[in-house]
Amino acid sequence: MASNVSELTTYDAYLAGEWKKSSSGETIAIQSPYLHDTIGRVQAVTQDEVDQAIKAAHKAQKEWASLSLSERGVFLNRWADELVKNEQDIARSVMKEVGKGFKDSRKEVVRTADLIRYTVQEALHMHGESLRGDGFPGGPQKKLGIVERVPLGVVLAISPFNYPINLAASKIAPALMAGNGVIFKPATQGSISGIKMIEALDRAGLPKGLLSLTTGRGSVIGDYLVEHKGIDMISFTGGSKTGRHLSKQSVMIPLVLELGGKDPAIVCDDADMDVAVKSIMNGAFSYSGQRCTAIKRVLVNEKVADELVNRLKAEVEKLTIGSPEDDSTIVPLISDKSADFVQSLIDDALTKKATLVTGNKRERNLIYPTLLDHVTEDMDVAWIEPFGPVLPIIRVSSDEQAVEMANKSEYGLQASVFSQDIDRALEVAKEVEAGTVQINGRTERGPDHFPFLGVKASGMGVQGIHNSLVSMSRQRVTVMNLK
């Protein structure tokens, strides 16, 4: 468990059923993006500790897989209860570690408990199927097939910084319910929150060794984890660059990748402007735009562009800016490096003659919400994912041109279409290359039981509770050859 070293807490890793310091003797300082101070240290685990963790997971998984779904569910429901019991403490950790507003951090913890409970119920109702041989032409075959789902073995769950609890549990819960062991590698900035989440799972009594929490920089320990022969499936959420790298390292095992996005909001000339403005504001700027499913470009019909830009300007200038402790919408970005990157996109657009509607102000890693109009295809911000509060407005002359621009992106996570004519909206939605298209609403992953996927550079495979249970298990067919 955590141990206090002077005034700073140095957290243990959870390895093969034990909370302990790494034999590497190395720890990683976790900096708060808004306190600009170290808020704790986590272990940099060694390759040997990874080996031990994976070995222990395989050993414990045999016993775990023999438990019934309802027996497994007891542990997970207890985990959900522990998370809710410690909601404030965990939420405070999320806020300090990734700079997310306290209210949003608390919502993330509760959302995660709901996700875990729903995963238990979903698994309990996945009954498999039976098949009769004579259902196929060629005469009655006295065969009866029984199709069940069985675990894959040990799942490697790698999560990003921006939802350090929810996106981690969205992997761990289905992996465990499907009967697997788990190796959990949290984002470095998100590790303390991940540790608190796993402390709750440990208190729920999960069998020792079944899950390990291997903290450490992805750039140092990531490849070793991904290439490890003891890993039977990888569920990754993070940037497209990392995802592409990881897909080249992993060999012949199932892989689910949830990656970056450049979600467009397509605003048709008959859009309900109140709905469009509210959805775009919330979709583009909540948590400073640090959401994979954030609206990251607006493709607006030129007939209504001026009205939309004026209304967005007024709303952007009302956004609360400051500390996550005050539940500001615009908070300091995760790192100075991220802020530099976002600023570079703004600078590039302005150099190439974009119109600055509002924003382009910066205080260290706090980027003020920035609206850029008349963005053209030669500007990086039209195509690159900022992961920050900058919104490019691209004017189009028709629905067809909007679809063409939407699909020109390498990304295909989600898109929003705003029109008061549902047939027209469906027509546009049908043509957009994305995992999900929202009609008259903001782009978002939730609710968590919906399928969630990205196409093209936005991912591979499908998450969402049911699909995650399926991707973290396999079919086993037993055929009875009857007399």
Contact call for residues 14 and 213 (beta carbons, < 8 A): yes
By CB under 6 A, name the one of 385, 399, 444, 448 that touches ligand NAP.
385
By CB under 6 A, name the one of 445, 453, 464, 468 that touches ligand G3P.
445
Q: In the complex, what is the shortest distance from the CB of residue 284 to ligand NAP, in angstroms, rounded to a whole number? A: 14
Which own/partner contact pairs does 82-87 have at CB distance under 8 Å and 24+ positions apart?
Answer: 82/200, 82/201, 82/203, 82/204, 83/109, 83/112, 83/113, 83/116, 83/165, 83/197, 83/200, 84/109, 84/110, 84/113, 85/200, 86/196, 86/200
Distance linking the first and last C-alpha atoms of the chain: 59
The runs of H, that is alpha helices, within 352-476 are 399-408, 422-431, 465-471
DSSP characters for 327-383? Answer: T-SB---S-HHHHHHHHHHHHHHHHTT-EEEE---EETTEEPPEEEES--TTSGGGT
Question: Counting contacts by CB under 6 A, is residue 454 touching ligand NAP?
Answer: yes
By CB under 6 A, name the one of 42, 94, 200, 246 that touches ligand NAP.
246
Contact call for residues 367 and 356 (beta carbons, < 8 A): no
Encoded one letter per residue, x for contact with ligand NAP by CB under 6 A and - for no contact, window 182-221 reads ---xxxx----------------------------xxx--
Question: Counting contacts by CB under 6 A, is residue 259 touching ligand NAP?
Answer: yes
- Which residues, 146 to 175, sit near ligand G3P by CB under 6 A? 162-163, 167
Residue with tokens 């850029």: 372
The reply to whether 385 belongs to the active site is no
Q: In the complex, what is the shortest distance from the CB of residue 166 to ligand G3P, in angstroms, rounded to a whole number? A: 7
Which listed option, ligand NAP, ligand G3P, none, makes contact with residue 454 (CB within 5 to 8 Å by class)?
Answer: ligand NAP
Encoded one letter per residue, x for contact with ligand NAP by CB under 6 A and - for no contact, window 214-233 reads ---xxx--xx--x-------
Cα(87)–Cα(58) distance, integer angstroms: 31
Which listed option, ligand G3P, ligand NAP, none, makes contact with residue 164 (CB within 5 to 8 Å by class)?
Answer: none
Applying CB under 6 A, the span of 117-125, 134-142, 259-267, 297-305 interacting with ligand NAP comes to: 259-267
Applying CB under 6 A, the span of 80-88, 124-132, 291-299, 467-475 interacting with ligand G3P comes to: 291-299
Percentages helix, strand, coil for the chain, rounded to the nearest 5? 40, 25, 35
Applying CB under 6 A, the span of 19-27, 160-168, 281-289, 300-308 interacting with ligand NAP comes to: 160-168
Contact call for residues 98 and 161 (beta carbons, < 8 A): yes
Question: Counting contacts by CB under 6 A, is residue 240 touching ligand G3P?
Answer: no
User: Is the Cβ of residue 41 or residue 117 nearer to ligand G3P in the bound state?
Assistant: 117
Helix axes 166-177, 191-203, angle to 10 degrees: 40
Question: Counting contacts by CB under 6 A, is residue 291 touching ligand G3P?
Answer: yes
Number of residues that bind ligand G3P (CB under 6 A): 9
User: Is the Cβ of residue 72 or residue 100 nearer to ligand NAP in the bound state?
Assistant: 100
Q: In the complex, what is the shortest distance from the CB of residue 408 to ligand G3P, in angstroms, rounded to a whole number? A: 23
Cα(397)–Cα(174) distance, integer angstroms: 45
Q: What token pair was written down for 244?
A: 């592409």
Q: Residue 439: what residue type? A: I
User: Is the Cβ of residue 188 or residue 328 nearer to ligand NAP in the bound state?
Assistant: 188
Determine the distance from the C-alpha atom of residue 147 to the mean position of all C-alpha atoms in its chain, rounded to a whole number: 31
Question: Counting contacts by CB under 6 A, is residue 262 touching ligand G3P?
Answer: no
Contact call for residues 468 and 182 (beta carbons, < 8 A): no
By CB under 6 A, name the one of 193, 235, 293, 360 that touches ligand G3P.
293
Q: Any residues with CB less than 8 A from the CB of 274 and at least 6 apart, and which? A: none
Q: What token pair was written down for 202?
A: 């440990």
Which one of the listed residues 49, 258, 385, 444 is annotated catalytic?
A: 258
By CB under 6 A, name the one of 260, 359, 388, 389 that touches ligand NAP.
260
Which listed option, ligand G3P, ligand NAP, none, makes contact with residue 444 (CB within 5 to 8 Å by class)?
Answer: ligand G3P
Return the CA Rg of the chain.
24
Footprint of ligand NAP (CB under 6 A): 158-162, 167, 185-188, 217-219, 222-223, 226, 237-239, 242, 245-246, 258-261, 292, 385, 387, 413, 454, 459
- Residues carrying an active site annotation: 258
Q: Which residues bind ligand G3P (CB under 6 A)?
A: 162-163, 167, 291-293, 444-446
